[in-house]
Structure 1
Amino acid sequence: MTQLQDVDTAVSVAFVVKIDDASIGAWSSCEGLGAEVVMEMREEGGNNAHVWQLPTRLKYSNIKLTRPLGADTSKIASWVSSVAQGYERKTAVIQAMRADGKVVAEWSVVDVLPVRWTGPSLNSDQPKVLTETLEIAHHGFTTR
């Protein structure tokens, strides 16, 4: 039985991301890390009791990373703009880290490619933290 003090929860988590071992900095949120088994429905002639559900393939959603603008923003702009010259899929590592720097969880993401970067909305009437969002496509992940 696990003692309550031994449970390592991910409170105040930052997500540190590396692309082919080159850091692109820390992110405040990471959404979309998941997989779905696509099912095919088959009706069997003469069997009206149920419909067969057969797994066909895995489908991965895009990952969205968000953070306040900072010095690492130029790394993202460079990576995204390089896609226009041709691209090479890379491997990413996403680490969920506590405020004290301890890694809580880690995912290795295969064949990443940037598909969208969204910069801040600039409005002097509503002062707020300027954020950026990076969306990446991939072909799967593993946990470490």
Structure 2
Amino acid sequence: MTKDEVAVAIAFVVKIDDQDLGAFNTCDGLGCEVVVEQREEGGNNGHVWQLPTRMKFSNVKLSRPITAESTKLMRWFSGMANGITRKTATIEARTLEGTVIARWGLLDVIPVKWSGPQLNPDSPKVAVETLELAHHGFFGPGSGG
């Protein structure tokens, strides 16, 4: 990767453990937050203590038009019917040429929701599916770019 390359949101390739779920065109929710508890100390009027308590990780939402790759996602999601086990996931931001610009590793991933397309003959829109994943944090040296 050269210094001139920018993480343009072209395609996000998703793998759960080593199972390839294909490319998505939107990825939303990669983030974390430190939960802070405020404590006031008697006799100290200069500030309120900001005490970090835990990390919260937002759910990741991935969307794409329905394609032949959609069967990979449905096969993986359907496999959860017999019991959900937490997996690891990687999300790679790639250019049109396939160059990996950034990579995020997610720990203890579980599927939260799959939304299929709205099929309406009166509305000629692209059929889109959305996958929502919950996780317990990021891993790996390449996490975050």
- TM-score, normalized by the shorter chain, greater than 0.5: yes
- Give the % identical residues: 57
- How many residue pairs were aligned? 140
SS of residue in 2 equivalent to 1:100 = coil
Aligned to 1:120: 117
RMSD over equivalenced CA pairs, Å:
1.4
**Residue type matched to 1:73 in 2?**
S
CA distance in 1, matches of 2:120, 2:129: 15
Moved more, 69-78 or 85-94: 69-78
Normalization by structure 2: what TM-score? 0.90
1:1-144 residue pairs with structure 2 within 5 A?
6-11=3-8, 13-142=10-139, 144=142
SS of the residue 1:83 aligns to: helix
| Runs of 4+ with deviation above 6 angstroms | none
Q: Distance in 2 between matches of 1:77 and 1:18?
A: 14
Does the 8 Å contact 1:12/1:99 carry over to 2?
A: no
52-61 vs 6-15, which moves further: 6-15
1:141 is displaced (CA, Å) by: 0.9
Q: How far did 1:12 drift?
A: 5.1
| Distance verdict in 2 for CA 1:32–1:139, change over 3 Å | same
1:4-29 Cα distance to aligned partner (Å, 9 max, x none): x8411123520001111110000000
Which structure 1 residue ranges, 5 or more long, are not aligned? none
User: SS at the partner of 2:34?
Assistant: strand
Q: Which runs of 5+ in 2 are unaligned?
A: none
SS in 2 for 1:80: helix
